[in-house]
Amino acid sequence: MMSYHASLDDINFALTYIADYPKIAALPPNREATSDVVEAVLTEAAKFAATLLAPLNQSGDQQGCRLGNGEVQTPDGFREAYRQYIDAGWAGLPFPQQHGGQGLPWILGGIVQEMWDGANMAWGLCPILSRGAIELLLSHGSEAQKSLYLPRLISGEWSGSMHLTEPQAGTDLAMIKTVAVAEDDHFLLKGQKIFITWGEQDFTENILHLVLARTANAPPGARGISLFMVPKFLVNEDGSIGARNDVQCVALEKKLGVRGSATCVMSHGDNQGAVGYLIGDEGRGIATMFTMMNNERLAVALQSIAVADRAYQLARDYAKERVQSRALTEQGNSEPVTIIHHADVRRMLLSMKARIEAGRALCYYAMGQIDISHADEDSQLRGAAQKRVDLLTPVIKGWCGESVIDVTNTGIQVHGGMGFVEETGAAQYLRDGRICSIYEGTSGIQSNDLVLRKILADGGEQMRLLLEEIQGDIDVWREDLAENLALAAIIVELHQSLAVLREATDWMMATGTKNVNSAAASAFHYLMLTGYVTSNWLLVKGIANALGDTESDGRSDAYLTVRIQVARFSSEQFLSLADGLLKTIQRGDDAIMALAVDEF
């Protein structure tokens, strides 16, 4: 199985020219995050991922986690790697210095997380959940809660987990049955949660579980649900560890992939009741939890790209080494060549590479907007950046989650029969990545979120602003880049697909106000169309910004030529799907809802 190498050239390009890191670094809180600091952080993170995490990936998958007496034992080496992770200070990278963090931009924390996930997705899930818990407490915790919990979460000494799903309540959280009864300054919780990632582990001395539960006499539905902090061990006023709380792991799920991570069935209150502390306002639990949920959705999108990138690296290297058949252009008794010389293998590899670069562009753009929403001195720009993130979060999560399935599946195909066996490692990436379109909201949930809660909810205002910005860039590029024939052709394709997306948006607006089911039936295809157009816009944006950079750091013309050719492939192979997607979108729900239930 190949070793992992972070794609630093592509990462730095997306950071600089798509996320616009110079602008992010110029924001007041980020002025110490200079290019030298960034280079040091990314270099060391790449080394940590390659030397400590990647060697544990396949063995962790084979060994899995084990449960005994309510305690989880993680795969060999995982715990030691986590200890080195916190000793090196990685956990606190993007968090406020006042709580013990390093105060670096959010996007740098995201990029190092991409490296953890590419090297070892199962291990990397634990820091992802802690990051979400920290963000939630920063936004909704009381001052006392922040003071008590944040320093230990940010240091990595403690971890976080998210308890939403129950056996009868998956997507529909209004159906949860876990109850919380008020007692003095806390609540006592009783109920069971399933699919709880890293709900139990041997990495940290304490785990802070964020649990949705229904308070006594609360109204039915979502309005009756509140959010609680339920520590594995109770915490004394001085921050020291107290008694064991009444919450435990009672089973581990047997999974298709990410077997090195513990996915737990968690029981709350089997005895006296699990002590929990209200986070935010009572009855506002789902709204409060969505701070963490949206954080996790973007993290899963980045995780998708990370796993896809590792699958691509493996397939690419195999294609350069595997000798099979003569080249079609050769005649007579020529020798067999490595399979990367064959046109169909080239097609597969380029489709993998293009989807990875496009997905990374989407993720980095969103993370850059998050930093602007946090730190720009102009309140209007902060608000606009946050609205852009809100609009694109379901697109990015849904599109990248579908992409990792396509990319890892193609990676197996490149390997042929060797991809179907576990020996090469190609199959693990498909098994691991398959969850990305499911957890934190399936692709269908993301599609409905985009259409129903974003497009229809604001009358299409935020989507209109996005389309206008893309059109404005296209208008500039048509003049400035006209002499670059390869880019000019890409821009024409982008312009045409943007018109298709605009027409699809108009259809969604008109249809959704009359027949919401028809809009929902077409929502997935609309999300995918939006992902194709916005990601290809960002691919061109990065190239255009790099070509206009008069103070380039020496990036080679050869590298930019590769970027242009990948963007060309993406426009020809993926943007060309726009017309077909529009036809499918406009057909609505007629065929989809035609069969009666008993006819299936």
By annotation, the residues acting in catalysis are: 440
- Can you tell me the distance from the alpha carbon of 205 to that of 152, in angstroms, rounded to the nearest whole number? 10
- Residue 69 burial by Cβ neighbours in a 10 Å radius (0-12, 13-18, 19+): exposed
- Can you tell me the distance from the alpha carbon of 291 to that of 173, in angstroms, rounded to the nearest whole number? 16
β-strand pairing of 158-163 with 206-215? parallel
Q: Compute the Cα dihedral for 503, 472, 354, 106 and give only its sign.
A: negative
Q: Which of 478, 451, 585 is nearest to 540 (CA)?
A: 478
Helix (H) or strand (E) holding 564, with range, is helix 557-573
- Can you tell me the distance from the alpha carbon of 315 to that of 153, in angstroms, rounded to the nearest whole number? 38
8 A C-beta contact, residue 120 and residue 57 = yes
Q: Which residue has 């907007």 as its token pair?
A: 369
Longest pairwise C-alpha distance within the chain: 88
- Can you tell me the distance from the alpha carbon of 533 to that of 469, in angstroms, rounded to the nearest whole number? 12
- Residue 459 burial by Cβ neighbours in a 10 Å radius (0-12, 13-18, 19+): exposed
Q: In sequence order, what are the residues at sequence separation of 6 or more whose Cβ sits closer than 8 angstroms to the Cβ of residue 525?
A: 581, 584, 585
Helix and strand totals (H; E) in the chain: 19, 12
8 A C-beta contact, residue 320 and residue 415 = no
Beta bridge partners of 66: 73
Beta bridge partners of 241: 235
DSSP codes, 20-32: -HHHHHTSGGGTT
Q: Which of 355, 387, 353 is nearest to 370 (CA)?
A: 387
Q: Compute the Cα dihedral for 204, 210, 214, 215 and give only its sign.
A: positive
8 A C-beta contact, residue 576 and residue 517 = no
